[in-house]
Amino acid sequence: MVSGRRDFGEFGAKLEKHLERLPDYAQRAQEKLQQYFPPDAGGQRANPLRRPAPARPTAITDVPVIAEARSRWARWNAPAAKLERRKRRASRALTLWIILTLLCGLYAVATGLGLIGAGGLTEAFGGIAGAIVFGTLGVRTGLRLRQLHRTELPVSTTPPPLPSPRSAAREPMERLAESEASLAELLRQLSAPASMVSDESVEEARATAAEAASALRGLAGRIQAIERARNSAPAGDRKALDTAIRTLREQLDDGLEGYGALVAAAGHAVAAGGSGLRQSKDALTDATDRLAGLAIALREIS
């Protein structure tokens, strides 16, 4: 009995000794494991046992839910969307007034001929009055709808909303917005009276850049649409959709390179002077032509 107690005491002492050395064992195991991981740019080795922290949005507007809500709100308040809603309302009202005018006219004819009631002009007066009232409202609504169809939308100075932070098109669209701002400033300087670049070349570059930017945003819209389809597609179909997104992203990057070439050419034209001015003008024209061809290709893709 004594020997059993002594054996149990020795076993407990050894167990406590090993438990005390567990941190040392864990540290040695981690050092052995880190030998198989290369150091990062700062010379520190990654901790394989530590889970990477999820990327946090830099601003509250980068939260996917808030970004999507802002995008929908911007689309709802866009001038084109407002005008389209006013056209639809006017068209529906015009249809209603026409139907009511016809019904009142038929009622007036039926009562005047005696098909309904005793007949006579007195019986038909209500239908005639209703036809006049609804007909007047229909004419006014028709004139308003005609005016809405002739309304020209004002040029929006606010940049279009960026895609969701999780979208593959977010980073290219941020680059496009920066390039657009730089190009606008460069073309403003080139259109100054002191500039030696012709106004025709500047306007051509501005129009080509606007067309290319519109085509690039259309391509980004396709990427976002495919991403939404991928999120709700079965698991077996997501791989093909991911491949399509990568292909469109490559085309989007190529388009941004062409846009950047035009920005660079405009920058050289602003900085050039003397003998280098002619060469900068030619480079600006070549970049404009290449971007115009690229915009046509992007339009065909979109």
Q: Would you state the pLDDT for residue 60? A: 56
Give the contacts of 262 (CB within 8 A, at least 6 positions apart): 183, 205, 208, 209, 212, 284, 287, 288, 291
Give the contacts of 110 (CB within 8 A, at least 6 positions apart): 116, 127
d(Cα 198, Cα 122) in Å, to the nearest integer? Answer: 77
Measured between alpha carbons, how far apart are the two ends of the chain, in Å?
89
pLDDT at 16 over 50: yes
pLDDT at 274 over 70: no
DSSP class of residue 63 equals: S
d(Cα 159, Cα 163) in Å, to the nearest integer? Answer: 12
Using a pLDDT cut of 70, give the percent of the chain over it.
70
Q: Please provide the average confidence, as pLDDT, over all residues in the chain.
A: 78
Among the residue ranges 30-39, 148-157, 274-283, the one predicted with the least confidence is 30-39
- Where does the pLDDT of residue 96 fall: very low under 50, low under 70, confident under 90, or very high at 90 and above? very high
Long-range residue pairs from 257-261, CB within 8 A, at least 24 positions apart, any chain: 258/212, 258/287, 258/290, 258/291, 258/294, 259/176, 259/179, 259/183, 259/209, 259/212, 259/213, 259/216, 259/291, 260/179, 261/287, 261/290, 261/291
d(Cα 253, Cα 245) in Å, to the nearest integer? Answer: 12
Q: Would you state the pLDDT for residue 58? A: 52
pLDDT at 103 over 50: yes
pLDDT at 130 over 60: yes
More confident residue, 29 or 244: 244
d(Cα 298, Cα 12) in Å, to the nearest integer? Answer: 76
pLDDT at 52 over 50: no
d(Cα 301, Cα 24) in Å, to the nearest integer? Answer: 61
- Where does the pLDDT of residue 8 fall: very low under 50, low under 70, confident under 90, or very high at 90 and above? low
Calculate ∠ Cα 242-243-247, nearest 5°: 115
More confident residue, 242 or 36: 242
What is the token pair recorded at 166?
């999780």
Do the Cβ atoms of 225 and 257 come closer than 8 Å? Answer: no
Burial class (CB in 10 A: 0-12, 13-18, 19+), 153: exposed
pLDDT in tens, 175-234: 999 999 999 898 888 887 766 777 888 888 888 998 999 889 989 999 999 998 998 888
pLDDT at 1 over 60: no
Q: Would you state the pLDDT for residue 49? A: 47
